[in-house]
Structure 1
Amino acid sequence: MTAIGSLRGSRADRIRDLLLIAYENTANEGKTRELLRLSIAEGTRFPEMVDCLHEQFIAPTLAALTGLVEQGIARVYTGCGGRHAGRARDFDFSRCRLASGV
């Protein structure tokens, strides 16, 4: 996975690039693609495999995506004359999920 620090452009550009890289890594990497397919099809029978996929691929991608979104929100809140300063810091991103389980 590409380090978040190596992505360039606006936050929207970096989010798009991160998602494209994640997609390309999944689509082009045979083992990752097949592990994802197997996890979806047989994940209930092999929870350790799902945990491994989540730890190795999904969690780092979501962490990078969450970081970019948090940066964007913080910038918006701090860039509006201080009226909303601190709100981004108070937002609980850990409760947000893009998808429930794999």
Structure 2
Amino acid sequence: MKNLFKCSVCSFIHEGDNAIDKCPKCGQPQEKFIELTAEDTAKIYKSERTNDIHMEIIALTDQIVKLAKEGIEINLDPPCTSGFTQAKHEAYVIKQRSKAEIENHITKGKW
């Protein structure tokens, strides 16, 4: 596990042996970086995959919404259209759930 350094201005995380000379996000100098504790570093590494999974789920829900809208426009019959409408709504709920979990990870330093 490498050391992690966080920009105290924009929260960009850098992985390496030392902090970088300049933040690639906000341009602040090396002095604005703080080295994260071993505990915080472990949290970030442990949560990396789950954050990626949440982002993939969000992308998939966008696909579900797109397909459901197409099915609604076709309007084959009421039960079919109702199913697509329900799928669209449920995809939105799933998307919001994953977004909320990512936000929870960020506020707990797991990003």
- Shorter-chain TM range is 0.3 to 0.5
> Which of 1 and 2 has greater Rg?
2
Larger fraction in strand:
2
Larger fraction in helix:
1
TM-score w.r.t. the length of structure 1 is: 0.37
